[in-house]
Amino acid sequence: MRKKELYTFVLEHLRGQWGETDTELNYTTPFELLVAVVLSAQCTDKRINQVTPRLFHDFPTPEALAATTPEVIYDYIKSVSYPNNKAKHLVGLSQMLVKDFGGEVPDTLETLTRLPGVGRKTANVIQAVAFGKAALAVDTHVFRVSHRLALVPGRCTTPLSVEKELRKHIPEEQWAPAHYLLLLHGRYTCTARSPKCTRCGLNAVCKSFAHSAFPPKTAQ
Active site residues: 121, 139
Contact 30, 56 (CB under 8 A): no
- In whole angstroms, what is the distance from residue 158 CA to residue 165 CA? 11
Q: Detail the DSSP E strand segments found in 28-151.
A: none
Angle at 128 between CA 27 and CA 32, to 5 degrees: 20
- In whole angstroms, what is the distance from residue 14 CA to residue 209 CA? 17
Kind plus residue range of the DSSP H or E element containing 112: helix 109-112
SS3 content of the chain, % helix, strand, coil (to 5): 60, 0, 40
Torsion-angle region of 150 (φ positive above 0: left; ψ -120 to 50: alpha; else: beta): left
- In whole angstroms, what is the distance from residue 38 CA to residue 52 CA? 12
Neighbours of 113 (CB within 10 A): 14
